[in-house]
Amino acid sequence: MSTIDQVEKKKERKLVLTWAVTFLIVFPLLIILGLFMRLNQGRVVELDYTQFYAFMTMHGLGMAGVLFSIAFAGLWYLISTRITKLNLGVGYFVYVLVLLGFLGLAYGTMIGNFAAGWYMLYPLPFKGASWAVSSTQISSVSLIVMGVAWLVGILHLLYALAKRYGGFFNLLGWQYLRKGEHEKLPALVLVATIALVPGIFAFLVGAVMLIMFLLQSFEPTLSFDPLLLKNMTFFFGHMLVNITLYCGVGWVYGLLPEFTKREWKVDKVVVYSWNATFFFIIFAYLHHLYMDFAQPTSVQYLGQIFSYGSAIPATAVTMFGVIAQVYHSKMKWTIFPLTVLFGMMGWAIGGFAAIVDTTIAFNTGLHNTLWVPAHFHTYMLMGIVLFIFGFLFYLFSGEEGIHQENKLGKVGFWLFVVGAYGFLTMFYLSGINGVPRRFADYQGIEAGQVKEIGAQLARYAAMFIYVVLLGLLVMYWSLFTKLLKRKEASA
Ligand code: HEM
């Protein structure tokens, strides 16, 4: 049993609310950058190239960063209030460092015009860049600061859990594979571990890669192997996005049983599935390098096998788990289970579109088209972001309030879902029609049809983004009224 007292829980609540409010401020601002990108692609506004790519860099890195931060903060909160005590000082240290890193990145991109994209394709940022070297340096240092903060937070959390469950391997559920009695492991802890350990590798590799960038920015005669740096960048980026999703899935394992009143047990199948994902996820990033012909061919095939391997077991066992939780449970479809169900759906649709893209035969046609942003925007926006809003409703309404009907919240939710799927459909349709990704506008495309279709679909997408923003506004209204009501009641 945990021995966390009420005072401690209140303090942890304050910390997670600080993260939550920061997320709620930053998230729509980053969407607005996305809106401007689509308006530019649709020729409604005119951004110069550097500005467009600076927006895209901030949008991509900012979204990945802010989503991982709130996903991690949510895990921290659930573990610190239900499983084992965590050091609040470390929690605030991570928050302040991430915030400083984020502000540095915003300065480097939005003022310094650092516009290399999240992928930074080495050595391009050092070849005739349209921004000052200092912007590359500020942005790299800011990203390193955020990475260090997350590393500290993850190490602290895993250390506390390992202490609580008698060793690291017990967190992976390996005791279930041996005979004999053992303490039950909450599914939340298993999934949190599988999400966070690969995160350690990702942040270390990311930090080394950024330090190499920094070194070259100070000493231009230096040069590194571009293929090695590309492998490092995609190892870091792919992993960050994947583990963000798994952190959110961890909440689902932890919180859905409160609504269905059914225990979500860890058993051998769950342990094997998540451990398989734990292994495969390390190599799944290789599918980003299918077009890099310098990469050995055998590694390309491994990339395909590991991509299937990382996606299928965890997804299948979680989907079946959710069905087993919900089926005939007489649960009320309040806002939390609704976000979980739709979040799962977004994960499945985006995951399926990703599997299509990682299949080499399709990848030759879809690679570098808008199909790629389509699939990862699906599981981020309609997967993890929905889990996040479910969690925020849970947090702001309180453990009692969340079971009550929330009509306003649901209106906001439906507007958000309709707007987001509309926006995503335009990405998919563009991908099928061969519209390239990462193009500031489509005017230079010689195939007239692609040029016109790309711009037209971008304009439709922009209209759906307005619906997304409206949905957010309504959800914010509902969230903050719930929070204020709770405050008044407790006062
Ligand atoms: C309604 C919300 C969003 C809008 C309107 C939006 C819009 C966009 C647009 C227009 C692009 C440029 C695509 C291209 O032409 O290649 C883009 C790229 C990107 N977005 Fe979003 N986005 C949204 C949500 C998200 C979320 C939730 C994430 C989470 C990680 C995200 C991460 C990224 C990344 C990493 C890129 C760069 C992609 C690349 O390197 O090709 N976006 N987004």
DSSP states of 377-424:
HHHIIIIIHHHHHHHHHHHHHHHHHTTS--HHHHHHHHHHHHHHHHHH
Which atom of ligand 1 sits closest to the CA of residue 420? 1
Distance (Å) of CA 424 to CA 25, 378, 462: 23, 7, 11
Mutate-to-test residue for ligand 1 from 59, 120, 244, 438, highest number of ligand atoms within 8 A of CB: 59
Protein residue whose Cα sits closest to atom 8 of ligand 1: 34
pLDDT of 211: 96
Query: Nearest CA to 213 among 284, 104, 125, 132?
Result: 125
pLDDT of 309: 82
Mutate-to-test residue for ligand 1 from 31, 56, 143, highest number of ligand atoms within 8 A of CB: 56
pTM, entire model: 0.95
Give the number of other Cβ atoms within 10 Å of residue 386's Cβ.
Answer: 26
Mutate-to-test residue for ligand 1 from 38, 63, 230, highest number of ligand atoms within 8 A of CB: 63
Angle between helices 88-106 and 133-164 (to 10 degrees): 160
Give the whole-angstrom CA distance, residue 397 versus residue 135.
42
CA of residue 177 to ligand 1 center, whole Å = 41
Protein residue whose Cα sits closest to atom 35 of ligand 1: 60
CA of residue 31 to ligand 1 center, whole Å = 8
Count of positions (residues) in the chain: 491
Residue 348 corresponds to which tokens in the numbers above? 């499945």
Protein residue whose Cα sits closest to atom 4 of ligand 1: 34
Residue 364 corresponds to which tokens in the numbers above? 């030759």
Which atom of ligand 1 sits closest to the CA of residue 370? 16
CA of residue 30 to ligand 1 center, whole Å = 9
Which residues in 294-401 belong to E strands, given as ranges? none
Protein residue whose Cα sits closest to atom 9 of ligand 1: 34
Protein residue whose Cα sits closest to atom 28 of ligand 1: 63
CA of residue 373 to ligand 1 center, whole Å = 7
CA of residue 387 to ligand 1 center, whole Å = 18
CA of residue 37 to ligand 1 center, whole Å = 9
Spatial contact of 309 and 352, defined as CB atoms under 8 Å apart: no
CA of residue 165 to ligand 1 center, whole Å = 39
Q: How would you classify residue 337: left for phi > 0, otherwise alpha for psi between -120 and 50, otherwise beta?
A: alpha
Protein residue whose Cα sits closest to atom 32 of ligand 1: 60
CA of residue 396 to ligand 1 center, whole Å = 27
Helix (H) or strand (E) holding 64: helix 49-82
CA of residue 437 to ligand 1 center, whole Å = 10
Residue 232 corresponds to which tokens in the numbers above? 């490092």
The tens place of each residue's pLDDT in the chain, 491 residues long, gives: 457 888 999 999 999 999 999 999 999 999 999 999 999 999 999 999 999 999 999 999 999 999 999 999 999 999 999 999 999 999 999 999 999 999 999 999 999 999 999 999 899 889 889 999 999 999 999 999 999 999 999 999 999 999 999 999 999 999 999 988 899 999 999 999 999 999 999 999 999 999 999 999 999 999 999 999 999 999 999 999 999 999 999 999 999 999 999 999 999 999 999 999 989 888 888 888 888 889 999 988 888 888 888 878 888 899 999 999 999 998 999 999 999 999 999 999 998 898 888 787 888 888 889 999 999 999 999 999 999 999 999 999 987 788 888 999 999 999 999 999 999 999 999 999 999 999 999 999 988 899 999 999 999 999 999 999 999 999 999 999 999 988 888 77
Phi, psi angle pair for 167, to nearest 5°? 125, 155
pLDDT of 365: 84
Spatial contact of 226 and 52, defined as CB atoms under 8 Å apart: no
Protein residue whose Cα sits closest to atom 37 of ligand 1: 60
pLDDT of 284: 86
CA of residue 146 to ligand 1 center, whole Å = 20
Distance (Å) of CA 374 to CA 67, 327, 356, 429: 18, 31, 12, 9
CA of residue 376 to ligand 1 center, whole Å = 9
Phi, psi angle pair for 436, to nearest 5°? -70, 150
Which atom of ligand 1 sits closest to the CA of residue 458? 10
Give the whole-angstrom CA distance, residue 255 versus residue 277.
22
pLDDT of 2: 57
Give the number of other Cβ atoms within 10 Å of residue 10's Cβ.
Answer: 11
**Residues lining ligand 1, Cβ inside 6 A:** 31, 34-35, 37-38, 56, 59-60, 63-64, 67, 117-119, 241, 373, 377, 380-381, 385, 423, 437-438, 465, 468
Protein residue whose Cα sits closest to atom 43 of ligand 1: 34
